[in-house]
Amino acid sequence: MESAERNENECKMLENRGAGSTAQIREVVQKVESKTKCATPGKQARKVLRVLKKKDKEEIVQAVLEKYYNSEELKPYQAELIKMQRHLERTGKKMVILFDGRDASGKGGTIRRVTRYMNEKRYHTVALGKPNEQQKTELHIKRYIEHFPHAGEIVLFDRSWYNRALVEPVMGFCTQNQYKRFLKKVITYEQNFLEDNGKTILVKLYFSVSKEEQARRFEIIKNDPLRQWKLSEVDMQAQDLWDEFTEKKYTLLKKTHSKKTPWYIIRSDDKHLARRETMKVILNAVKYRGRSKKLDFTPDPKIVIPGDKELIIMRGQLKKYGKSLA
């Protein structure tokens, strides 16, 4: 009985660990690394292993196992994504997936897991920078449409035309008139995309990270020389402007969530769960042959929240706390 309880507690601990396994290993190893410098990585690993305490060894093993099991859990869904991609190729359908949301909410990492085993000739990831002077004079959505998929292709936008409803108005990168006009017109634009006899499939995802988790991730990025380039002007102000971004999220959902073009909110404090559940949402958007009958495709309601339900949650928070927290 005690053994069963211990195993259950260990499983729960594995599920609830916030840090990534590489970060966990680095933290443990750095405690002893300065005392064990060796010429080669292999010798260094053996020497570190000898001096590590039992508790630290167990933590490293746990981190490695967590990474392994997370990866293994995603593989059946990644296999289904390959089937889905082949279906799009056979039928000539096109798929557009929007990854929007707060900074450091896990959009890029999820895109990499979604596309990891796909045929790279049939998908494109698009992350546009600031518009140039000519683009500023054109219809805002035009530069995104230029990257739309051909028949049988998938395009994943790492931030989409919805920058005009989120980052740009908060940071003063657009005028109030431009912001309001976008909110008024965008659903019409999207419905026009979809009026092609069902050939285009649009999936809109908003990644929602908590303020505390966002701050933790920013701190990790800031102290990592390999990832410091990710911190932009917007990132540096994201915590101070948290409430402003929340207000824009509320308006975004209120104005641009519809039955034909719905938003799905992805709770992303747990990166692994966010990645797994995102794959389910994408797979559920397409009816394809050979779909596994054993795999669970039902989204976890704690992780995936339809846009209209998120609005209800935010209104409840507003009534209770005087402001929305999400």
pLDDT reported for residue 34:
66
Whole-angstrom distance, CA of residue 126 vs CA of residue 156? 6
pLDDT reported for residue 102:
95
pLDDT reported for residue 305:
98
Sketch the domain layout of the chain as residue ranges. Answer: 2-52, 71-321
Secondary structure string (H, E, C) spanning the chain: CHHHHHHHHHHHHHHHCCCCHHHHHHHHHHHHHCCCCCCCHHHHHHHHHHHCCHHHHHHHHHHHHHHHHHHHHHHHHHHHHHHHHHHHHHHCCEEEEEEEECCCCCHHHHHHHHHCCCCHHHEEEECCCCCCHHHHCCCCCHHHHCCCCCCCCEEEEECCHHHHHCHHHHHCCCCHHHHHHHHHHHHHHHHHHHCCCCCEEEEEEEEECCHHHHHHHHHHHHCCCCCHHHCCHHHHHCCCCHHHHHHHHHHHHHHHCCCCCCEEEEECCCHHHHHHHHHHHHHHCCCCCCCCCCCCCCCCCCCEEEHHHHHHHHHHHHHHHCCCCC
- Could you list the mean pLDDT of each consecutive 10-residue stretch along the chain, which spans 326 residues? 44 44 75 70 80 83 90 98 98 98 96 98 96 92 96 98 97 96 96 90 98 94 90 89 96 97 98 98 97 97 98 94 85
Whole-angstrom distance, CA of residue 124 vs CA of residue 149? 8
At the top level of CATH, the class of 71-321 is: alpha beta
For the whole model, what pTM was predicted?
0.89
Contacts of 74 (CB under 8 A, 6+ apart): 113, 272, 275, 276, 279
Strand 304-306 to 263-267 pairing: antiparallel
pLDDT reported for residue 292:
97
Tokens coding 318? 């507003």
What are the two backbone dihedrals, phi and then psi, of residue 315, each rounded to the nearest 5 degrees? -65, -40
Of 283, 125, 97, 95, which Cα lies nearest the Cα of 199? Answer: 95
Place of tokens 């289904």: 80
Tokens coding 306? 């339809």
pLDDT reported for residue 107:
98
CA angle 89, 145, 279 (to 5 degrees): 50
What are the two backbone dihedrals, phi and then psi, of residue 258, each rounded to the nearest 5 degrees? -140, 170
Q: How long, in residues, is the chain?
A: 326
Give me the amino acid identity at 140. Answer: H
Strand 154-158 to 94-101 pairing: parallel
Contact 60, 28 (CB under 8 A): yes
Contact 153, 87 (CB under 8 A): no
Whole-angstrom distance, CA of residue 30 vs CA of residue 52? 11
CA angle 318, 321, 325 (to 5 degrees): 65
Whole-angstrom distance, CA of residue 294 vs CA of residue 241? 44
In angstroms, how far is the first alpha carbon of the chain from the final one?
A: 40
pLDDT reported for residue 20:
53
